[in-house]
A and B are shown apart, each in its own frame.
Chain A
Amino acid sequence: MGNFFGRNQSFQMDTQSAEVGVEEGPNKIFISQQQVVDEEVQAKVEMLIAELHGTKHHPPNDPDAQKLDHGFHFFKTNIFDAHPEYFSELAKGQSPKFLVIACSDSRVSPSVVLNFKPGEAFVGRNIGNMVPQFDQLRHTEIGAVIEYAVKSLEVDNILVMGHSRCGGIERLMTLPDYTQTYDFIDEWVKIGLPAKKKVLQEAGDLPFAEQLTLCEKESVRNSMVNLLSYPFVRNAVVNGTMIVRGGYYDFVNGSFEQWKMCTH
């Protein structure tokens, strides 16, 4: 059954059980009975259906859904409705000057950390803010983000933003790990292997925590270089219409540094 608006609920009443599904729209109800259903169960089923007709599409005791609704309400009231011309212009089209590649880490949203307003930055977020080399088989997700930003939106800047205490980089530097394997994580973070190699070569004697910081920054540089393996990026950079930039947000010390790729 593929109706994602449906709801399944099982009741256990004494020795009887009934399965009820309610589909929205045509209001079809089906009841499949494993055993004889008595009037009590029938009454409860009818009450449930009556409730479901009038309520919102999520149950009232779902605090996480409420949190999302409240969050949107805050945005709508304080930002969206407060700037109607701004948002109606934005609804017609976007023209951000930045593509930002940031980590999925909950602490490093570029909108928050760099105070980007709606419309300012096109953003791709993944584990470890990594840009792999051009690969039409293995890396269509990031390829599509970069392609859209560069070809359709013609952004002037690509900023790859790394950060402190990155779990992805830590995993990279911890490998190989024979005690725990992941389906995806280990293969993904290996995109940063050139950065790890460089850090081990040049700073292999430093404490692990310092190696992590160095690798977080080196991985950003590695990603910046990988960006040039995308022909549409390379062309824009060579033509001088786009600049590749790197950044590092340190939330332990509250600092941000940035650098850029220079072309000669």
Chain B
Amino acid sequence: MQVMSSSPSLSPAFNNFSGAGKFSYEFGLKLRLKDEEPDKEEEEEEEEEEEEEEDNMGSESYEEAIAALSKLLSDKADLGSVAAAKIKRITTELEAAVADQTKFDPVKRIETGFLHFKKEKYEKNPDLYGALAKGQSPKFLVFACSDSRVCPSHILDFQPGEAFIVRNIANMVPPYDKTKYSGVGAAIEYAVVHLKVENIVVIGHSCCGGIKGLMSIPDDGTTSSDFIENWVSICAPAKTKVKSESNELSFSEQCNNCEKEAVNVSLGNLLTYPFVREAVVNKSVALKGAHYDFVDGKFSLWNLDFQISRFHPL
């Protein structure tokens, strides 16, 4: 297996038609075997996305062909079954061509996605993107879940440059550990020490698969995954708390509570990083927890306050 780095350019010429060529047709081909007036012009046009309306833009040159075929069949009736077989084959080929055309094309999806961004945002804000090209100074470090439904750029409308973002399963912050959790450590370190963010926000969310996985780990601790259950066990204290305090609630309600308690466990874990603790005590960084509920369309936000105060001697 090789990694081939041929980089196709952004030309839109990616042709997904499997040899069917370019032609025009009506979606939902209806073969009319009766004689009809062939009153359409003969044009060859490029392939287009199918349109439901009945307009004659796609030229009906096939109607002439069908008229000729039906004339032949009415003259030579014994050709009927041969014709039927050939027509079936043509229909199948055309159906495949349609399917290919409407099949999801990831390359194209990425390409059009970028072109949309370039045209609607990048080129319309040259000052912003010019400044960002030189450097970033986000005020937020955000931990969000990898879930496709909870991107902070969407749900909190973060613009480019505003938030340094870590995304992992169930938006967890593990405690300081150079061996086991270097990825999270590096991100926090870079954000706090180098970028000097002013806020660290941990955002949980509804229907979190990772939290559900945590709540589903059997009591005897047997796991069946390579990584997931090990990772989500970071927030085992949240599970313990939820099970002891709300054992009478349904499983999904317990999961909902656990989503929020796990955020609190992560906030506490943030304080195990000396550079975070120092910044929080100095009040140069604020820690915030949040929960996005995409079932009800709600967002809640809370602070973690932490300080060290001296006791005056009596």
Contact = CB atoms under 8 A, between A and B. Distances in A.
Contacts of B264: 4
A116 B112 CA distance: 10
Given A4-B289, A141-B231, A189-B186, A106 B165 contact: yes
A257 B169 contact: no
B117 A140 contact: no
B286 to A, nearest CB: 7
Contacts of B283: none
A108 B202 CA distance: 19
Contacts of A151: 225
A108 B158 CA distance: 11
A105 B164 CA distance: 5
Contact of B301 (A57, A113, A145, A146): A57
B13 interface: no
Contacts of A55: none
A28 interface: no
Interface stretch (A41-49, A131-139, A200-208): A131-139
A123 B136 contact: no
Q: List 4 tightest A-B contacts by C-beta distance, closest first.
A: A184-B185, A143-B227, A188-B186, A71-B156
With most chain B CB atoms within 10 A of its CB, the pick from A6, A75, A243, A247 is A75
B80 to A, nearest CB: 42
B155 A106 contact: no
A144 B263 CA distance: 18
A225 B6 CA distance: 15
Contacts of B157: 70-72, 74-75
A154 B117 CA distance: 27
Contact of A119 (B2, B148, B187): B148
Interface stretch (B16-24, B57-65, B189-197): B189-197
A115 B189 contact: no
B187 A104 contact: yes
B160 interface: yes
A126 interface: yes
A139 B183 contact: yes
Contact of A8 (B182, B292, B295, B307): B307
A87 B148 CA distance: 12
With most chain A CB atoms within 10 A of its CB, the pick from B210, B299, B311 is B299
A60 interface: no
B281 interface: no
22 contacts: A5-B302, A7-B303, A35-B312, A69-B299, A75-B154, A90-B149, A106-B158, A109-B153, A114-B117, A124-B168, A126-B186, A140-B231, A144-B169, A144-B210, A145-B167, A148-B169, A149-B146, A187-B186, A247-B110, A258-B111, A259-B8, A263-B1
Contacts of A37: none
A4 B133 contact: no
A107 to B, nearest CB: 5
Given A91-B207, A119-B149, A123-B151, A107 B160 contact: yes
A125 B231 contact: no
Contacts of B85: none
Interface in A77-134: 79-81, 87, 90-91, 94, 96-98, 104-109, 111-116, 118-127, 130
Nearest to A134: B226
Given A8-B309, A184-B178, 15 more contacts: A10-B307, A59-B303, A71-B155, A75-B154, A80-B294, A108-B160, A118-B149, A124-B168, A127-B186, A145-B146, A147-B225, A185-B189, A245-B106, A254-B123, A256-B10
B114 A114 contact: yes
A126 B294 contact: no
B164 to A, nearest CB: 5
Contacts of B191: 104
Contacts of A70: 157
A68 interface: yes
Contacts of A146: 227
Contact of A152 (B161, B182, B209): B209
Contact of A104 (B154, B164, B198, B303): B164
A157 B2 CA distance: 17
B132 interface: yes
Contacts of A141: 168-169, 174, 181, 183-184, 231
A126 B307 contact: no
A231 B178 CA distance: 25
B169 A94 contact: no
A61 interface: no
B122 to A, nearest CB: 5
Interface string B195-238: 00011010000110110000000000000011110111000000
Given A71-B157, A124-B167, A261 B4 contact: yes
Contact of A71 (B1, B104, B158): B158
